Amino acid sequence: MDTSQRTYRFSAADVYTAGYRIVGKIMVSANGIMGVLNDPTKSHLEIHDARLARIHMPTKLVDHFEIVRLVKMQVVIVCATRREDLGPTNIVRGGYSNIVETPTRLATDVFELEGKLQVAGRFDFVSLITDKSRNFIPLFDATLTAILLPNLKVESPGILFNREKIDMLAFLNQRAKEDK
C-alpha cells in the first residue's frame, strides 16, 4: 500500500500553562499549530528546543531541553509569532466564509486575553464552550496579561486559547455606559 509523505516544519510558539512559560518550536503539518492542538488522536504536545520560565519570572530562564512534552489539557494558551502559523484560513475559521470579528476580553484563572474573536453568524457562548471538535480557539491581534503579574504582557498576531480553561468572556462593544 502506498502511503503519502507529509511535509512537516517547525513553527515558533510561546506556550503557557498555569505555572510555566515554554518558548520553543512545534512540529506542524500543513494544518499549522491549530491542527496539532485540535488533533483528537493525540493528547500530548511536543515542544522542541524548549526554554522554560516560571510565570512569575517570565524572562528568567529556568531550564532548556531538546524536547518538552505537555498534556494538551493542561495547556492554557499558545501564542504564535505569525498569524499564518496558526494554520490555513479554512482550518482557523472552521470552514465558514461569513465571519464577524468581535473585540473580546477573556479570562482564565491565571491570564487575561484581549483581542478579536471571529464568530460565524450569531454568537453562541454555549456552543463555543461545549464544541468538542475544537478545544483550542483562535483570538487575533491579541494581548495576553497575567492577572497577578501585570508585568507579564505578550502581544501576538494569533493566540489559541483552551476553551476548557475559560472563566469569563465579554465583548468589548457591550461595555456598560457610564452614568453621569
What does the pLDDT profile of the chain (180 residues) look like in tens digits?
455 556 789 999 999 999 999 999 999 988 899 999 999 999 999 999 999 999 988 889 999 999 999 999 999 999 999 988 888 776 666 555 677 888 999 999 999 999 999 877 777 777 777 777 789 999 999 999 999 988 889 999 999 999 999 999 998 888 888 766
Question: Is 179 inside a domain boundary?
Answer: no
Identify the CA nearest to 106 among candidates 176, 155, 161.
Answer: 161
Listed as own residue / partner, the contacts of 7-13 with beta carbons closer than 8 Å and 24 or more positions apart are: 10/48, 11/80, 11/81, 11/85, 12/80, 12/81, 12/85, 13/47, 13/78, 13/79, 13/80, 13/81, 13/85
> 173: which DSSP letter?
G
pLDDT at 93: 60
Number of folded domains that form the chain = 1
pLDDT at 7: 79
pLDDT at 108: 95
Question: Is 64 inside a domain boundary?
Answer: yes
Question: Is 3 inside a domain boundary?
Answer: no
Angle at 29 between CA 27 and CA 33, to 5 degrees: 65
Domain with 15 in it? 9-174
Question: Is 164 inside a domain boundary?
Answer: yes
Is the Cβ–Cβ distance between 139 and 42 less than 8 Å?
no
Question: Is 180 inside a domain boundary?
Answer: no
pLDDT at 114: 96
Question: Is 136 inside a domain boundary?
Answer: yes
Query: Any idea what the CATH number is for the domain that residue 108 is in?
Result: 2.30.30.100
Q: Cα torsion at 78, 74, 147, 52 (round to 10°)?
A: -70
- What cell numbers appear for 123 in the block? 454568537
Question: Is 61 inside a domain boundary?
Answer: yes
Question: Is 122 inside a domain boundary?
Answer: yes
Main-chain phi, psi angles of 92, to 5 degrees:
-65, -40
With cell 475559560, the residue in question is: 166
